């Protein structure tokens, strides 16, 4: 395809936009790829859309290569399915909720687990229909608390989301592995470095979850890695500070629900983010943790981890009052031994969901129920769009004693990796992909089951897998730029070649036009700067700002039958015979 700059809907800017503080945001706006419509909401201009489409195409190819079938769901959805899974509430203020003229509740989908589950339920009924993997590339909406860095954290953004449906765990494992491999391929093809990190699988109740992080100093995620190859998102193993924690949307009233005998409940008593902030406390200062043994008449024994503001002592009566009809006592060393899932050196947690209420004094009481089977590490707080964090790295004997206190510790450079693979290094990154074994949570909530070989109904097990398509455009711009502008890798560049015609000689423009047409015929994407009255200096500056990997200059050399090919990244220049120009571009 050939695009003439005299025709292109484009206005480049010399000045850096005032609201843009990271390079990718600045350059995508300056080079006329995107424009801001509202905070965290961007309009795609022609060049931006070309890059977005190329990223989509690579992702689509890799999804199709693992048997994914593309569909397209609405973004505007009824509330009912999200009520059935509790996410209408759980999503908190991140969810865009609206009503139609009949006052029925709707939402703008932040992700589509519910709808995919229902679609499969609608259409499939037998094990013979499975396995299935379906995906879409679609616009998502999240009212992010802090939209930032242009496309990196938008309130409207493009995501590839896929969902796998299997009858058994082996099937789910296989679907998960296929996605993992597909993601490695697509990020490699896109030219994006990535680190695969163990992620928190908390609120969604899943078993296995990994994130693909693009390492960059401007990333909001902190991850850890060890020389032995251990990697994890620090979110999964670190204490959040009160700034990271949103306590405003804890659902009330509390209800202690105990999903099984081996449940650790965590009670964070009286922690008030506002008060903590006023005092200048971090969560690590604020919380101390006491481990208690809870004996419940029907649910049996469990360990309860109570987090308290640092200056308070645990009041067993109050905890008992919260847990009625259970009895509570300090846990002993033997109690720990009775829970083999609790890895030595770590107290395990993995929260299932927050339950909140106010006590007689009006303090909020937030209770977490923890399943020891997903245990690694300890401690907790609430917040985030999935309703919680873990905060781990509380090493037994170092940060707490059995019936003593746990000081929630922040993960530090040099801490030992949990798998013993050496000291941890901290780095920053941006989440570009996320793969997740959901298990049967959504299928159960929405009644998706199929008949097995014996005619018995079996609840389907699911995976969900996301890629941040629009975020990737920004990540690429972050990785591929210099002080002059963007430097796209060829597979995602809006054009393979940017032709600059210099001077005023009509012969130059004729030759440049011919070259542009020839290259277009040879299936290259071409930007042709045919502006008649713009200086060579301005044209070169624009070519560098726009960032096509090859710049072909048609100018004075034409008299000798030559043109100049410049490599946008290295700056290397070569004189070429005009006839061979189209062959030499790669
Ligand atoms: P983050 O941790 O950055 O908030 P997330 O864990 O909430 O992301 P997922 O729900 O896992 O995101 O969604 C799948 C993918 O969608 C993410 O891996 C990310 O690449 C992308 N994504 C999520 N939120 C945004 C956003 N606000 N703007 C752009 N892309 C996003
Ligand atoms: Mg998020
Ligand atoms: Mg995340
Ligand atoms: Mg995620």
Mean pLDDT score of the chain: 77
Are the CB atoms for 210 and 78 separated by under 8 Å? Answer: no
Q: How far apart are the first and last CA of the chain?
A: 16
Does residue 521 have a cis bond before it (omega within 30 degrees)? no
pLDDT band at 467 (very low <50, low <70, confident <90, very high): very high
Pocket test for ligand 1, best of 434, 437, 470, 473 (most atoms within 8 A of CB): 434
> Atom 19 of ligand 1 has which residue's CA nearest to it?
468
Measured CA to CA, the distance from residue 509 to residue 73 in angstroms comes to 47
> Atom 23 of ligand 1 has which residue's CA nearest to it?
468
User: How high is the pLDDT of residue 417?
Assistant: 76
**Phi and psi, residue 118, nearest 5°:** -65, -35
Is residue 357 scored above 50 in pLDDT?
no
Q: How far is the CA of 84 from the centre of ligand 2 (A)?
A: 22
Measured CA to CA, the distance from residue 463 to residue 485 in angstroms comes to 39
Which has more confidence, 295 or 279? 295
Are the CB atoms for 243 and 269 separated by under 8 Å? Answer: no
Share of the chain above pLDDT 90, in %: 58
pLDDT band at 156 (very low <50, low <70, confident <90, very high): very high
User: How high is the pLDDT of residue 148?
Assistant: 92
pLDDT digits (tens, 9 = 90+) for 291-319: 566 665 555 565 555 444 444 455 566 55
Name the token pair of 538. 């301005």
pLDDT digits (tens, 9 = 90+) for 20-57: 999 999 999 999 999 999 999 999 999 999 999 999 99
Measured CA to CA, the distance from residue 259 to residue 106 in angstroms comes to 31
> Atom 1 of ligand 1 has which residue's CA nearest to it?
431
ipTM: 0.99
How many CA atoms lie within 13 Å of 91's alpha carbon, on the beta-carbon side? 21
Pocket test for ligand 1, best of 431, 436, 464 (most atoms within 8 A of CB): 431
Any idea which of 287-301, 338-352, 527-541 has the lowest mean pLDDT? 338-352
For 561, left (φ over 0), alpha (ψ -120 to 50), or beta? Answer: left
pLDDT band at 421 (very low <50, low <70, confident <90, very high): confident
Measured CA to CA, the distance from residue 548 to residue 556 in angstroms comes to 22
Q: Which ligand is located closest to the Cα atom of residue 111?
A: 1
Q: How far is the CA of 144 from the centre of ligand 2 (A)?
A: 7
Any idea which of 81-85, 389-393, 452-456, 543-547 has the lowest mean pLDDT? 389-393
- Could you tell me which of 3, 13, 16 has the C-alpha nearest to residue 538? 13
Q: Cβ of 441: how many Cβ atoms within 10 Å? A: 17
pLDDT band at 211 (very low <50, low <70, confident <90, very high): very high
Measured CA to CA, the distance from residue 318 to residue 299 in angstroms comes to 20
Q: In terms of pTM, does the model score above 0.80?
A: no
Which atom belonging to ligand 1 lies closest to the Cα atom of 235? 2
Q: Which ligand is located closest to the Cα atom of residue 213?
A: 1
Measured CA to CA, the distance from residue 412 to residue 281 in angstroms comes to 18
Residues with CB under 6 A from ligand 1: 111, 142, 144, 153-154, 157, 159, 385, 431-434, 466, 468, 470-471
pLDDT digits (tens, 9 = 90+) for 442-458: 999 999 999 999 999 99
Map residue 174 onto helix, strand or coil: helix
Are the CB atoms for 423 and 123 separated by under 8 Å? Answer: no
Helix residue spans in 329-382 (DSSP H):
333-337
Q: Rounded to 10 degrees, what is the CA torsion of 178, 180, 183, 185?
A: -70
Which atom belonging to ligand 1 lies closest to the Cα atom of 430? 3
Q: How far is the CA of 469 from the centre of ligand 1 (A)?
A: 10
Q: How far is the CA of 154 from the centre of ligand 1 (A)?
A: 9
The H-or-E segment that residue 182 falls in is helix 169-190
């Amino acid at each position: 395809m050939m695009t003439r700059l005299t025709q292109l809907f484009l206005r480049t800017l010399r000045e850096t936009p005032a609201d843009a503080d990271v390079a990718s945001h600045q350059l995508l706006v300056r080079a006329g790829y995107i424009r801001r419509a509202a905070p965290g909401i961007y309009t795609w201009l022609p060049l931006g859309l070309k890059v977005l489409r190329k990223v989509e195409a690579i992702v689509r190819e890799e999804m199709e290569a693992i048997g994914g079938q593309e569909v397209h769901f609405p973004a505007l959805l009824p509330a009912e399915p999200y009520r059935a899974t509790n996410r209408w509430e759980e999503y908190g203020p991140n969810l865009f909720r609206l009503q139609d003229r009949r006052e029925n509740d709707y939402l703008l989908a932040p992700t589509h687990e519910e709808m995919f589950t229902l679609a499969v339920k609608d259409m499939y009924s037998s094990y013979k229909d499975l396995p299935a993997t379906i995906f879409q590339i679609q616009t998502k909406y999240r009212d992010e608390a802090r939209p930032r860095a242009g496309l990196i954290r938008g309130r409207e953004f493009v995501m590839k989301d896929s969902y796998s449906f299997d009858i058994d765990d082996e099937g789910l494992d296989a679907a998960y592995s296929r996605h993992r491999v597909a993601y490695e391929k697509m990020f490699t093809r896109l030219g994006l470095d990535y680190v695969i990190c163990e992620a928190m699988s908390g609120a969604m109740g899943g078993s296995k979850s990994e994130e693909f992080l693009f390492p960059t100093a401007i990333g909001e995620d902190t991850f850890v890695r060890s020389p032995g190859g251990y990697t994890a998102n620090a979110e999964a193993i670190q204490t959040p500070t009160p700034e990271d924690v949103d306590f405003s949307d804890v659902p009330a009233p509390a209800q202690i629900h105990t999903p099984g005998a081996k449940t650790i409940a965590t009670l964070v008593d009286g922690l008030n983010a506002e008060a903590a902030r006023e005092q200048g406390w971090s969560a690590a200062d604020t919380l101390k943790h006491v481990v208690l043994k809870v004996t419940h008449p029907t649910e049996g024994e469990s360990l309860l981890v109570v987090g308290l503001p640092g200056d308070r002592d645990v009041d067993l009566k109050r905890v008992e009052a919260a847990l009625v009809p259970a009895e509570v006592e300090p846990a002993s060393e033997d109690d720990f031994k009775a829970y083999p899932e609790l890895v030595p050196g770590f107290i395990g947690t993995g929260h299932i969901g927050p339950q909140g209420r106010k006590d007689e004094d009006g303090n909020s009481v937030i209770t977490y129920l923890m399943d020891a089977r997903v245990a690694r590490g300890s401690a907790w707080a609430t917040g985030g769009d999935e309703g919680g964090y873990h905060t781990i790295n509380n090493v037994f004997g170092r940060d707490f004693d059995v019936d003593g206190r746990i000081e929630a510790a922040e993960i530090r450079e040099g801490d030992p990796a949990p798998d013993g693979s050496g000291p941890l290094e901290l780095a920053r990154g941006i989440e570009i992909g996320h793969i997740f074994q959901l298990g049967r949570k959504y299928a159960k909530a929405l009644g998706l089951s199929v008949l097995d070989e014996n005619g018995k109904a079996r609840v389907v097990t699911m995976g969900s897998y996301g890629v941040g398509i629009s975020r990737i455009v920004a990540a690429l711009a972050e990785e591929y730029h210099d002080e002059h502008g963007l430097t796209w890798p060829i597979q995602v560049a809006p054009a393979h070649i940017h032709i600059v015609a210099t001077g005023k000689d009509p012969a130059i423009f004729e030759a440049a036009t011919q070259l542009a047409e020839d290259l277009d015929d040879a299936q290259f994407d071409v930007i042709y700067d045919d502006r008649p009255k713009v200086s060579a200096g301005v044209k070169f500056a624009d070519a560098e700002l726009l960032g096509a990997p090859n710049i072909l200059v048609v100018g004075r050399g034409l008299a000798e039958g030559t043109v100049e090919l410049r490599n946008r990244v290295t700056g290397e220049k070569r004189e070429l015979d005009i006839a061979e120009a189209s062959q030499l571009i790669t």
